[in-house]
Amino acid sequence: MTVKGLRQALKQEGPVIIASNHCSNLDPVVVGCAFPRRLRYLAKSSLFKVPVLGLIIRWLGAIPARREETAGAAAALKTLIRLIDSGESVLVFPEGQRSPTGELQPLEEGVGMLAAKTRRPVIPVFIRGSYEALPRHRLLYKPAKITVFFGKAINTEALAGEFSSKEIRKIVTERLEEELNSLSEKAKL
């Protein structure tokens, strides 16, 4: 695994929000190995019921989430806010679910909402190669070169003095999408 841009990401002090593309079940492990601070992340609640896997993802810092329910999404957001407020960094996948093609999908605004509420920096991350190693609907891992690109942090604290929470949510989502697209282009080189 190759990691690029990490030094810049580590300049951020305190808890951060890592926002990564999502192509594979390997992604939380890949980002967790690339980023030296402990990360907490949301995982589909049904995964916690799978023998052995449930124990592993808990050990990796996963938190059960029910994506399909609005109440579940609100509870997940509150959980992430509580974790950040207690000093923990979190990993989120703003596409909402794994990409079926390996390409970046449109982003949901949850990361922007989380950033607006916590005012913590958002660090964009793009993973290249995890889709080739373990795409959706494949059970067996195939060796592949994986590269993790850390992008420029989005400073939400600086936005807080000028914009409303709703505006911050939108600005963060737009900037994150721009940065992830830029990192995606770098990954193709």
Instruction: Name the domain count of the chain.
Output: 1
Residue 83 placed within a domain? no
Residue 174 placed within a domain? yes
Residue 71 placed within a domain? no
- 138, pLDDT greater than 90: no
Q: What CATH number does residue 142 fall under?
A: 3.40.1130.10
DSSP 86-128: TT-EEEE-TTSS--SSSSPPPPPTHHHHHHHHH---EEEEEEE
Residue 149 placed within a domain? yes
Domain that holds residue 16: 2-40+90-188
139 burial via Cβ count (<10 Å: 0-12, 13-18, 19+): exposed
Q: Which pLDDT band, with edges at 50, 70 and 90, does 68 fall under?
A: low
Residue 61 placed within a domain? no
Residue 138 placed within a domain? yes
Q: Are 126 and 22 in contact (CB under 8 A)?
A: no
Could you read off the pLDDT of 4-56 as tens digits, one per residue? 999 999 999 999 999 999 999 889 989 999 999 999 998 888 888 988 888 88
Q: Which residues pair with 4 in a beta bridge?
A: 149
Q: Which pLDDT band, with edges at 50, 70 and 90, does 159 fall under?
A: very high
Residue 63 placed within a domain? no
Q: How would you list the strands of the sheet with 89-92, edge to edge?
A: 2-4, 147-150, 122-128, 17-20, 89-92, 39-44, 62-65
Residue 13 placed within a domain? yes
